[in-house]
Amino acid sequence: MLALEGIRIIDMARLGPGPHCSQILADMGADVIRVEAPEPKEGPRAGRMINLPGDSAIRRNSRSISLNLKTDEGKKVFFALAATSDVITEGFRPGVVKRLGVDYKAVKAVRPEIVYASLSGYGQEGPYSSYVGHDINYQGITGMLDMTGDRDGPPMIPGNTIADNAGGGMNAAISVLGALLARERTGKGQYIDMAMVDGLVTMMFFPIEEHLTTGAVPHRGGTITTGLYPWYSIYETKDGKYVSVGAIEPWFYENLCKLLEREDLIPHQYGDEEQQQAVFGAFREAFLTKTRDEWVELLMPGETCVGPVLGIDEVVNDPHLRHRELIVDVEQGDGSTRTQVGVMAKLSETPGSIRSPGPEAGQDTPDILSELGYDEPAIEALRRSEAIA
């Protein structure tokens, strides 16, 4: 049994947080149906749409129906689907689903128990709600960019789309699960307004609380987790690679100093600026005497909170990540295998799984329509009306 077996999700989101939310829920057993608009044949977006590859890991465990919600016939199919569903997610700009006639109020009329989640950058209301944006903008407005980078340098772009994946996708999945649990208790569905900036602000609670408590303005390079101290930093090694050091607790710092053969540095973990710079220099000098992997072999088992900084090509072959099935080889429909990121949630009794590769857009349209009671002549009529591709 899968944790979300029997839960059907209609996903109208195209990129970023919506598909990530759906992937998390699909991995746990939800029946995810992606409602995807046919490519426009004319207008400014014709031939310029950005689509996720069909075999992308973020599309796995789902099905896809091609549906033109701008047609009456397409909307009729959508509501037939909605009447059989538990959750709807959408990632349009605020107001779009209302103009299309498929907003929460309209869906609730045919499925009162529906959980309907709208994912957007700035939320459904507020001074910025109508503005367009992407991950970098959401990181900027929440202080995350300002806290990222060298102390005396400019803000830097983090190595991943944190707003999309964590601020949006993961938080949306959490919200959906919470709403489903509430429905089990009350019998009522509800609307979820999930903004990526909302998720990021909650992730920035440490520096925000510091400012609200002390009045000080935290700055990159000026806090424990942004490089203020030498025992929470990144160091180059003899072979031009890097190690990460996170020896916050005094006992871990002491272990590190001992294994670096610099026990004289132990009293200076929280020393003054001059002492901190001396420790920085000593650590930089020490780490350049061995290769990354030599240091990892010595320090990682030594209770030091030291680890390697891996390139993506190394991540996919890391033995621990392979053992945890976070990197897995998945059999495709043609018998070949494709390596991809594994299932995030590790549930002991109802573990998630990768059951099918991602579909091409519209791949499952005939099958889904058949499940809704459409016969072949009716499906062909939908094609002629351009309700489906």
Q: How confident is the model at residue 43 (pLDDT cuts 50, 70, 90)?
A: low
* Residue 20: strand, helix, or coil: helix
DSSP one-letter string for 324-356:
TTSEEEEE-TTS-EEEEE--S---SSS-----S
pLDDT at 373: 96
% of the chain surpassing 90 pLDDT: 91
pLDDT single digits (tens) 61-116: 999 999 999 999 999 999 999 999 999 999 999 999 999 999 999 999 999 999 99
pLDDT single digits (tens) 225-268: 999 999 999 999 999 999 999 999 999 999 999 999 999 999 99
CA distance 71 to 45: 18
Superfamily the domain 224-236+242-308 falls into: formyl-coa transferase, domain 3 (3.30.1540.10)
pLDDT at 39: 80
Reading phi first (left if > 0) and then psi (alpha if -120 to 50, else beta), residue 305 is in left
The 10 Å CB-count burial string (b at 16+, else e) for 41-77 is eeeeeeeeeeebeebebbbbbbbbbbbbbeeebbbeb
Mean pLDDT of 362-379: 97
The token duo for 177 is 């699960």
| CA-angle at 356, arms to 365 and 388, nearest 5° | 10
> Where along the chain do the CATH 3.30.1540.10 domains lie?
224-236+242-308
On the question of pLDDT at 40 being above 80, the answer is no
**CATH number, span 8-202+328-384:** 3.40.50.10540
pTM for the model stands at 0.93
Q: What's 231's DSSP letter?
A: T
Q: How confident is the model at residue 194 (pLDDT cuts 50, 70, 90)?
A: very high
pLDDT at 42: 67
The token duo for 224 is 């424990």
> Where along the chain do the CATH 3.40.50.10540 domains lie?
8-202+328-384
Q: 169 vs 20, 30, 117, 295, CA distance in Å? A: 5, 16, 11, 36
Amino acid letter, 190: Q
Q: Tell me which residues are annotated as active site.
A: 134, 164
